[in-house]
Chain A
Amino acid sequence: MSETTFQTRRSFLRSGLVGGALTWTVPSFLAATMNELHAAASGALQADNGKDGPILVVLQLAGGNDGLNTVVPYTNDEYYRVRPRLGVPKRDCHTLDDDFGLHPGLKGLHELHSDGHLAVIQGVGYPNPNRSHFRSMEIWQTASESDRYEQHGWIGRYFDNHCQGEDAGVAVCLGNETPQAFAASNPKGITFRDPNQYRFVGVDEDDMTAEAKSGLFAAMNLNEADAGASIGTLGGGGGQSNTEDPLDFLERTALDAQVSSDNIRGILRSAQNPTGYPNGRLANDLKSVSKMIAGGLPTRIYYVSQGGYDTHTNQKGAHERLLVEFGDSLNAFVKDLKKQGNLNRVMVMVFSEFGRRVSENASGGTDHGAAAPMFLAGGNLIAGLHGTLPSLAPSDLERGDLKYQLDFRSVYATVLAKHLRAPGKDVLRKPFPLLDVIG
């Protein structure tokens, strides 16, 4: 559908909502009203709300990234012994310190390291690791013990405990599926692959039904009075409480959807296209995130992912291509945020569901493993290497995998406490030691 049609439809929506044509400022007026209602309902806005609050960008490397070939232990003889074909020679690596270097494809990431914007945390995992993609991703996303099943995600528990009164746009995921990390008692978060699909379609201006259809849509879905009332009784946005009428809940969600859809698409349409990004989906997604941050969307958490890391066969070329895309995209994103003046507000946290087996396999690849490094990127962190690489000695391995040295929930707890300024205990159920990685 063309932009003109959309404009026409929006004017229909407006006339449906307030009974007459108004100027283009209406959606923001409506948004402001919503914010006021939310704020009134929750008592006061939280300190970190709005345009100056901290932002977390979660970047998921899906498929299980080979940690040993990402942060290469190039003085470790055992590494080259068990990786005769895949081991990365020292001379090709980007030096981090005397013992470790980044994979040759990670030039972009290394530049961030040199600029003091990258922290590498080694040996991250969890007890009794699970080698199934699905299950291990679930453990990372729900931050559960590996033998417990949790319905809600760690970000979802952050919504439930720290985002009362925020609208759904407090978190945005660029993808086809809402990550389990977002699942909550009061679900929030918006997921879309293409922001243009995050809207109501099917009103064609050529049809004689268009105006009436837009009017009905507005009457049924932009029910300000009722939605406001139910917000008042609920004490803030979010899911349905035990006592709330399901119809009130649906009407409130419909209004939230319309407001955030208008906001997000408006920002993405009017924002200047940032430059310096490579091609590819990850770069495009990060570009969209940059535009939403620049546009002042009050989103606290963005979720993006890059897939393809399940490198069982012929890993060398495939892994290099992935790392180049990852490093260059992240590099462009950080530089872009710096130019915007927003870098100090933003922390990027990079994880994968597991690392890979220490020994390479017979197909020039690696099989599912356990502990691996995580990355943090941002303006306000203690750059360099953190944590310790687990021993590669055969007797120290667990079923051929690295033994974790640091529970990933310590990294979550650190990001929650030191960056998002939310006590992690509510979110992670128990305390985890904090790391000296954020300033």
Chain B
Amino acid sequence: MNEISKSDWTLARVAHLLNRAGFGGSPAEIKELYELGPTGAVDYLVDYQGTGAGLEPPPFTREPIPDLPNRREMRDADEEQRREMQRKRRRLNQAWINQLRGWWFERMRTSPRPLEEKLTLFWHGHFATSFEKVKSAHIMYGQNAMFRKNAAGSFEDLVVAVSKDPAMLSYLDGAQSRKKAPNENYARELMELFTLGEGNYSEKDIAEAARAFTGWTVNRETRTFRKAPRNHDGGVKTFMGESGRFDGEDIIKLILDHPAAAEFMSIKLWEFFAYSNPEPEIINELAATMRSNEYQLRPVLKSMFRSQAFYSTRAGRTQIKSPVQWLIGSLKVLESPLPDPGLCTYMAASLGQTLFEPPNVKGWEGGSAWITTANLLHRYNLASVLVEGGDSVKEVFGDRGLGGPEMGRMFMQEPMMDMDDAEIRRTRRQEMRKRRAEISQPVMKPDMVLPKEARASRDTARKHLQWRLFQSDLRPKDVAAFDQFFADLPGPDAWSNDDIRAVVHAMMSTPQYQLT
């Protein structure tokens, strides 16, 4: 692929790279990356091993999994007690998963390795599993850490790790698959959704692969991967024309030997980072790079981020922001701190993306599926919560405000283990009142977003905000609409902080802002 040359290296292209390989950046961050030049910038983003790591996960992830309730207690308990124990366990895990969401949002916003977080999110959608079924926050965190560790390394290692991942073993029923009754669920999705795509294997291949994965299960005490030799089918399998006493690792090797595998993953990566329906030449080249590097992903990522095609008009501002991209990207360009973690979870969820709960094994559909008439207006209104706060919060969330039962589930951060139901309800009400007051304070800081020197004239203010929010040239008619908007306003030197907030909100409440 033709590489982007130094002379084509512009701030707008750097912004595009940072938006796609991460969650965007402030004008200063874009400038810094620009100074590195195309080769240096891509190396910096992709070879992130030397860069400082991001925010530490919440403390519960470092503590042993409490066996709550443990099995002896369970056995001795009567039905009523057993239900109570299960309720407690649910409450504990719900609070932890919420902590995990808040932590991940903050890590995406602040990590010095933006690509690591973007890839982790990509793999979460690609190898989708949901807390809804897995039910353990520890296991979901373990998977998240596994994705991060393998994010840009060997795809083969990643597929092996996913196949042994307790969340996946639970989500697609692998943990229950044994010699006498192999479960084909994982074997099917492994080929159909994760590595090859439909049409590249037979039903027989699925059945044989399922046999090879039998006995791969989860240790109940430690919640880690375990091979149960008694449940493993050690017999000869015939898979994709080869025969042998294969187990799961062998099957993965054989899958990756299939010519369709590298192409399948090249398309997935290109569509996530660049644009849909890529030209066959691009995919052929990326797939060749993938094969010649034995499925190491870093060379593929570099080749993608350095290609002219990645910076072409097919790529630039043609992607509809996912809810997470919209949220974290907005905080990045506004240089704002993270709002209340429960609010973040609620915002992304109400726009269609709940972290750790993708809708099904296919992950998030993405693209235009993110946008409906109702949630486009909702995006505009949530932007007002971020930049204006105050009355908008009341208007967006209605008279009952935050913390209704559905929303409350996402806001809960503390398990409140030793309380009875009445105490829990009371504590939650108090907590929500307090947080509602905090949420009414918008996270955007007007002086940060539009410094004094940018308020010299309507033109400087318009240019400054347009660059900050859109980081690219817009169509002449869009610029004309913005010019008209600024002409309708008093001069920027007279703007109050509330006026600046209103101006930023107006510019975010546009179709253009939903693109990256």
Interface residues in chain A, defined as those with a beta carbon under 8 Å from any beta carbon in chain B: 1, 132, 134-135, 138, 147, 149, 151, 168-169, 176-178, 180, 183, 187-194, 196-202, 204, 207-213, 215-217, 219-221, 239-240, 242, 245-247, 249-251, 253-254, 256-257, 260-261, 312-313, 361-363
Contact = CB atoms under 8 A, between A and B. Distances in A.
B498 A134 contact: no
B79 A219 contact: no
Interface stretch (B20-28, B89-97, B500-508): B500-508
B318 interface: yes
Contact of B488 (A138, A212, A245): A212
Contacts of A151: 360, 362, 365
Which of A194, A196, A242, A253 has the most CB atoms of chain B within a 10 A radius of its CB? Answer: A253
B481 A257 contact: no
Which of the four size classes fits the interface of chain B? Answer: 35 or more
A180 B132 CA distance: 15
Contacts of B384: 201-202
Nearest to B276: A242
Contacts of A361: 79
B80 A363 contact: yes
Contact of B381 (A201, A213, A219): A201
Which of B277, B372, B381 has the most CB atoms of chain A within a 10 A radius of its CB? Answer: B372
A200 B398 contact: no
Nearest to A257: B373
A26 B244 CA distance: 74
User: Which 10 interchain pairs have the tightest Cβ spacing?
Assistant: A250-B511, A240-B368, A212-B488, A202-B384, A257-B373, A209-B502, A216-B485, A219-B481, A168-B373, A362-B79
18 contacts: A178-B352, A178-B372, A189-B374, A194-B398, A197-B396, A197-B398, A199-B377, A209-B502, A213-B502, A215-B484, A221-B511, A245-B318, A246-B515, A250-B511, A253-B373, A253-B511, A256-B373, A363-B79
Nearest to A196: B398
A202 B508 CA distance: 12
B440 interface: no
Given A249-B371, A261-B377, A216 B360 contact: no
B142 to A, nearest CB: 21
Given A151-B365, A198-B374, A220-B481, A211 B320 contact: no
Given A132-B133, A149-B361, A194-B398, A200 B80 contact: no
A239 B368 contact: yes
A202 B367 CA distance: 27
Contacts of A180: 359
Contact of B395 (A197, A211, A219, A251): A197
Given A134-B133, A200-B377, A250 B509 contact: no
B434 to A, nearest CB: 23
Contacts of A207: 498-499, 502
Contacts of A169: 373
A134 B354 CA distance: 15
B406 interface: yes
B509 A246 contact: no
A298 B484 CA distance: 36
A251 B511 CA distance: 6
B374 A138 contact: no
Which of A132, A202, A215, A246 has the most CB atoms of chain B within a 10 A radius of its CB? Answer: A202
A419 B373 CA distance: 27
Contacts, number: 173
Contacts of B352: 178
Contacts of A256: 373
Contacts of A191: 372, 374-375
B391 interface: yes
Given A190-B374, A198-B374, A219 B484 contact: yes
A242 B377 contact: no
Given A201-B396, A249-B371, A212 B485 contact: yes
B369 interface: yes
A17 B368 CA distance: 26
Given A246-B318, A254-B376, A256-B373, A215 B488 contact: yes
A204 B391 contact: yes
A318 to B, nearest CB: 14
B64 to A, nearest CB: 28
B485 A202 contact: no
Given A135-B133, A202-B384, A209-B503, A254 B79 contact: no
B131 to A, nearest CB: 11
Contact of B369 (A168, A213, A239, A242): A239
A196 B482 CA distance: 28
Nearest to B359: A180
B381 A253 contact: no
A198 B377 contact: yes
A217 B478 CA distance: 12
A216 B506 contact: yes
Contacts of A246: 318-320, 368, 515
B392 interface: yes
A369 to B, nearest CB: 17
B350 interface: yes
Contact of B376 (A213, A240, A247, A250): A250
B203 interface: no
Contacts of B361: 149
Interface in B133-177: 133
A151 B360 CA distance: 8
Contact of B510 (A183, A196, A220, A261): A220
Nearest to A260: B373
A86 to B, nearest CB: 15
B512 A220 contact: yes
B485 A249 contact: no
Given A134-B133, A187-B372, A247 B395 contact: no
Contacts of A257: 373-374, 376-377
Contact of B373 (A190, A219, A242): A190
Nearest to B499: A209
A138 B133 CA distance: 13
A221 B277 CA distance: 28
A51 to B, nearest CB: 21
A307 to B, nearest CB: 9
Nearest to B396: A201
Nearest to A167: B373
Nearest to A138: B360
Contact of A250 (B369, B371, B478, B498): B371
B467 interface: no
Given A132-B133, A239-B369, A363-B83, A200 B381 contact: yes
